[in-house]
Structure 1
Amino acid sequence: MTELWNWRIDGARPEVVYPALAEALGRVVMPLAVADPVRLPAYAVVCDVWEAPGEFGTVVDCYGVPERLSEQACVAALARLLGRDCLLADDTLDAGRHLLVAPDGTVRPVHFDVLETDDGEELSNRRLCTMADPRCRGWCQRSRWAPDSVAPVLAAA
């Protein structure tokens, strides 16, 4: 069984992201636009990187990622390699809540306003998920990533 990962990066050009992805995943990365399923090596991961509007406008989709790879460790390695903050989905059903992964490997929950546009989701108004915000005292407390939490990702070295 393989997985699909979807991340966002704070301002990185796609041509810089692809080689960093290959290093972070420890796999050959094939851009979706040129991936030929017939000639695709068994160990390759197909990725698509494009620009969306708003904050964290660089979007990364990785298709066919082997289950044994840790998504959090890979995104932490990517953040470190690029020197950029990255976002990944958290474990709630809140479309505006994400996990912010810093280049130093720390992870914290954050919220954004989400606007659907013709060019994709636009994220804006980043704010920490904190108990000081009454909106975070209910749904967010059920998450593995509780409000105000800051945790390291161990494999980000």
Structure 2
Amino acid sequence: MTELWNWRIDGGTPVEVYPALAEALGRVVMPLAVADPVRLPAYAVVCDVWEAPGVYGTVVDCYGVPERLPELPALAALARVLGRNCLMRDDTLDAGRHLLVAPDGTIRPVHFDVADTDDGEVLSHHRLCTVADARCRGWSQCHRSRWAPDSIAPALAAA
């Protein structure tokens, strides 16, 4: 069984992201556009990287990731290699709630406004998930998450 990862990066171009992904994952990374399933090494990860409008506009999709590769430490390694903040969806059903992974490995929940456009989802209005925000207090989905409002954790603790 394999996984699909969908991440966003605060800047960066596909040309710099592909080698950073290979370093962070410790695997061969094949761009989706040139990956030949017949000639693909068993340890390779197929990825698609593109630029979208809005904040965190560099989008990364990794296909066929082996289950034994843990996602949060892998994303933390990518953030460190690139020196950029990265995002992944959190464990709630809130489309605007993500986990922000900083280059130093710090993980914290954040919110964005999400707009569906012809170019895909566009994120805007970045804000921390905190009980100081009325939308994150009380019975919000934020409290159903492993990542409660105002939580901050190192990547190794998240594994």
Match of 1:100 in 2: 100
Task: Please tell me the residue identity of whatever aligns with 1:114.
Answer: V
Task: State the number of aligned residues.
Answer: 156
Is 1:58 equivalent to 2:53 in the alignment? no
Percent identical pairs in the alignment equals 82
Task: Please tell me the residue identity of whatever aligns with 2:109.
Answer: P
**TM-score, length-scaled by structure 2:** 0.96
Deviations 1:100-136 (A, max 9, x none): 0000000000000000111111000000000011111
Distance 1:103 1:81 in 2: 8
Q: 1:17 Cα shift? A: 0.2
Distance 1:99 1:34 in 2: 30
Gap regions ≥5 residues in structure 2: none
Gap regions ≥5 residues in structure 1: none
Q: 1:140 Cα shift? A: 0.4
Distance 1:139 1:15 in 2: 37
Task: Please tell me the residue identity of whatever aligns with 1:98.
Answer: H
**TM-score, length-scaled by structure 1:** 0.97
Task: Please tell me the residue identity of whatever aligns with 2:125.
Answer: N
Task: Please tell me the residue identity of whatever aligns with 1:116.
Answer: D
Deviations 1:133-157 (A, max 9, x none): 11112210110000000000128xx
Match of 2:145 in 1: 143
Q: 1:58 Cα shift? A: 0.2
Map 1:13-28 to 2 at 5 A: 13-28=13-28
Is 1:120 equivalent to 2:120 in the alignment? yes
Match of 2:78 in 1: 78
Distance 1:16 1:139 in 2: 35
Match of 1:38 in 2: 38
Deviations 1:51-80 (A, max 9, x none): 111000000000000000010000000000
Stretches (4+) displaced over 4 A: none
